[in-house]
Amino acid sequence: MINTVLVTGGTGYIGSHIAVSLLRAGLQVVIVDNLSNSSEFVIQRIARITGTEPSFFKADCRDKKALQAIFNTHRPDAVIHLAGHKAVGESCQKPLMYYQNNIESSLVLIEVMQAFSVDKLVFSSSATVYGDTETMPVNEQAQTAVTNPYGQTKLMIEQMLQDISKASPEKFKVALLRYFNPAGADESGLIGEDPRSIPNNLMPYVSQVAIGKRERLSVFGGDYPTADGTGVRDYIHVSDLAQGHLEALRWLDSQVELPCCRAINLGTGVGYSVLEVVSAFEQISGRPVPYDIVDRRPGDVAVSYADVSLAANLLDWRAEKDLEDMVSDAWRWQEMNPNGIR
């Protein structure tokens, strides 16, 4: 039975929302984060939302001694692994940094898990492993065709986890959660996406333009084969995504058939273009979002949205929030935290 969960990257955007879901479910949460792209003040916000403060350790997952000490003290029953660099464009510019950080941190974490007989892992993967897939919606059996180093690191870690699970089936159960595009924020407005510099994701960039922090939105590509020429993505509310991790843990805890290592899409099954998101934001915020169409980004694909039937069947999970919820919650977060969490 799972009582204590270690969350790597737990002060980040997705990790903080996962911590909230776990704490609300009555689980004990231990967060490990090096704070390279987040703030320790997130811990206080999580406590305000849930009434419970998670344990927190500032540490890098590549630091084996630090991880060993944390495991020795808290003895987690399962791990949710989110720590890693995550920007597609940056990975194309700095591929070595991505391979060094993402692969090494995962290797060290798994070694420590094995040393402490922790046999349940939920891995934060990505829909970028599918690359430019022609058939939509994309399901978990689709051929992987990665178009950028970030996605390649995710795919390499997936393969590594599959190999480890096959080699030691009695000791290792893994859920490979392939996220589509997380958006929105906790409905309290206390936690949300808080990029340290120029946002890499659409929603926080649109939010910052709407509130006047940035002058204009750059829309990367207006000549895609889509209805309005802009890229189409499956946006999923971050709170729905967080709940998916809780259901994945419950599923792993119930598994008796081994080996157990499954890739599972987490999305809504609905695609929205960049300009559709901009329009929704303008309507809900009442603010204009001026934009310029610029060149495509390296590694981006035209259309990507999920077949979510496997998550429904295995995890009994479905996204409950729609684009309006995502935009409303993202705007509330931006208005309440114009300078982020400080």
Dist CA 31 CA 43 (whole Å): 9
Angle CA(52)–CA(199)–CA(178) in degrees, nearest 5? 65
* 150 classed as catalytic: yes
Selected catalytic residue, list 13, 98, 130, 150: 150
E-only strand ranges, the chain:
4-8, 28-33, 55-58, 78-81, 120-126, 173-179, 181-183, 217-220, 232-233, 235-237, 260-266, 272-273, 291-294, 303-304
Residue among 13, 32, 2 nearest 185 (CA): 13
Peptide bond between residue 338 and the one before it cis (omega within 30 degrees of 0) = no
Q: Which residues contact 34 (CB under 8 A, 6 or more apart)?
A: 58, 59, 60, 61, 83
Q: State the alpha helices, DSSP H only, in 296-339.
A: 309-315, 323-336
Q: Which residues contact 39 (CB under 8 A, 6 or more apart)?
A: 11, 194, 340, 341, 342
Residue 113 CA neighbour count, 13 Å, CB half: 29
3-state SS assignment for residue 253: helix
Angle CA(126)–CA(132)–CA(134) in degrees, nearest 5? 120
**Active-site residue list:** 150
